């Protein structure tokens, strides 16, 4: 009874949010992309360069497997061999063709999942890592919420249409950006062909993602198609030492429309460096004599609309703890495009500090003298 009530509430919420957000965002785009949903996001900063119904809740087909692989990399032992179950071998839809009782490593299953869009690989990963698909879904949903993909819910590891299986283009871009932090994920999705002998796999794999051949510097990510979701495509393209992630859902001309989004971003945005890693952007005086600086934790490079002014403000923390360790995130950097704030970043302490009792007593004595 509780499950059915929860499902009903979720369905009503989906209908309400989807219809409401559709009205808000449908006319906000500077160009029109022939897709139900579309978004372009800078992978390092999360800045959105283009959006069309980005928060519209929708099925997402096999682009689900981006989340499946992210969770597998996080929780799985890559060298562990998984026995293919009857459930995995007999799943419908796109398959690698693994046979029941065949032994496949988790690493190889990841290649089968992302290059061949294997639904059998998805089931095998779920069962091999969590013991069951249901338990793996718990991991996927928990991790999605943890990284901020709060308008998504996963019911399968492969993405076949299911009543409570949905996401948004924004969430899917966010998940992809997180996955791209993993070197193995980057290596897999950018591979065009993998020979069996290279990793001692049971078979060779050819990537079915045509976008790798359509756009220069494209390095992933995943195709998808179901009746409910339509043709989907998540793409990553290297630009200026960063990557732009493009998401299209229900887009019949997904290859061409991705190219149009890419062209739009190249014509209308440029990357600007705000600060190099380690640059001191603010400081705080401690005990009247010691300076603790707050520095950029990484190279700060952001996409800015051409012709727009970019400015930033750096802040020290309003209060300082008694103990500071080098690298503690205490300050803040705000970046503006014109009057619009586009990014908040934490700053890091450039040294360690501990308030000594001697300095504390000295300060007290000075105040008493005054």
Point out the annotated binding site.
222
Give the pLDDT band (50/70/90) at residue 368: low
Point out the annotated binding site for substrate.
222
d(CA 291, CA 274): 23
Q: Model-level pTM?
A: 0.86
| 19-25+35-268: CATH topology | Beta-lactamase (3.40.710)
pLDDT of residue 142: 98
**Candidate list 65, 95, 178, 231, residue with the active-site label:** 65
358 pLDDT above the threshold of 80: no
Q: Is the peptide bond before 7 cis (omega within 30 degrees of 0)?
A: no
For the segment 272-294, the average pLDDT, to the nearest whole number, is: 82
The yes-or-no answer on residue 117 being catalytic is yes
Contact 296, 269 (CB under 8 A): no
The yes-or-no answer on residue 236 being catalytic is no
Tens digit of each residue's pLDDT (9 = 90 or more) over 96-150? 999 999 999 999 999 999 999 999 999 999 999 999 999 999 999 999 999 999 9
d(CA 205, CA 114): 10
206 pLDDT above the threshold of 70: yes
**Candidate list 43, 69, 94, 117, residue with the active-site label:** 117
Supply the Cα-derived Rg of the chain in whole angstroms. 24
d(CA 63, CA 247): 9
Q: Domain limits of the chain? A: 19-25+35-268, 276-357
Give the pLDDT band (50/70/90) at residue 1: very low
Give the pLDDT band (50/70/90) at residue 289: low
**Candidate list 43, 44, 62, 152, residue with the active-site label:** 62
For the segment 319-344, the average pLDDT, to the nearest whole number, is: 89
Coil/strand/helix, residue 85: coil
Torsion of Cα atoms, 11 then 17 then 19 then 25, to 10°? -150
The yes-or-no answer on residue 332 being catalytic is no
């Amino acid at each position: 009874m509780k499950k059915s009530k929860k499902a009903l509430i979720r369905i009503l919420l989906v209908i309400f949010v989807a219809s409401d957000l559709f009205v808000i965002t449908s006319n906000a785009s500077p160009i029109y992309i022939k897709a139900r949903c579309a978004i372009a996001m800078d992978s390092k900063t999360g800045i959105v360069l283009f959006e069309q119904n980005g928060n519209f809740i929708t099925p997402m087909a096999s682009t689900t497997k981006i989340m499946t692989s992210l969770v597998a990399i996080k929780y799985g032992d890559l060298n562990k061999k998984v026995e293919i179950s009857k459930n995995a071998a007999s799943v419908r839809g796109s398959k690698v063709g693994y046979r029941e009782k065949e032994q496949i490593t988790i690493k190889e299953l990841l290649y089968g999942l992302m290059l061949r869009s294997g639904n059998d690989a998805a089931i095998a990963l779920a069962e091999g890592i969590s013991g069951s698909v249901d338990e793996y879904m718990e991991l996927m949903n928990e991790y999605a919420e943890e990284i901020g993909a709060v308008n998504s819910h996963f019911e399968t590891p492969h993405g076949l249409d299911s009543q409570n299986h949905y996401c948004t283009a924004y969430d899917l871009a966010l998940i992809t950006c997180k996955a791209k932090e993993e070197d193995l994920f980057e290596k897999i999705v950018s591979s065009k062909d993998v020979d069996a002998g290279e990793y001692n796999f049971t078979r060779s794999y050819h990537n079915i993602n045509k976008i790798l051949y359509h756009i220069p510097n494209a390095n992933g990510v995943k195709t998808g198609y179901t009746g409910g979701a339509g043709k989907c495509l998540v793409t990553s393209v290297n630009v200026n030492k960063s990557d732009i992630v493009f998401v299209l859902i229900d887009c019949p001309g997904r290859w061409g429309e991705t190219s149009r989004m890419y062209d739009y971003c190249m014509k209308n945005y440029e990357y600007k460096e705000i600060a190099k890693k380690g640059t001191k952007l603010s400081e705080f005086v401690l005990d009247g004599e010691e300076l603790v600086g707050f520095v950029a934790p990484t190279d700060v490079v952001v996409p800015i609309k051409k012709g727009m002014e970019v400015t930033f403000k750096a802040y020290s923390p309003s209060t300082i703890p008694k103990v500071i360790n080098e690298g503690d995130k205490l300050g803040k950097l705000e970046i503006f495009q014109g009057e619009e704030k586009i990014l908040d970043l934490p700053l890091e302490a450039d040294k360690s500090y501990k308030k000594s009792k001697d300095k504390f007593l000295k300060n007290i004595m000075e105040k008493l003298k005054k």
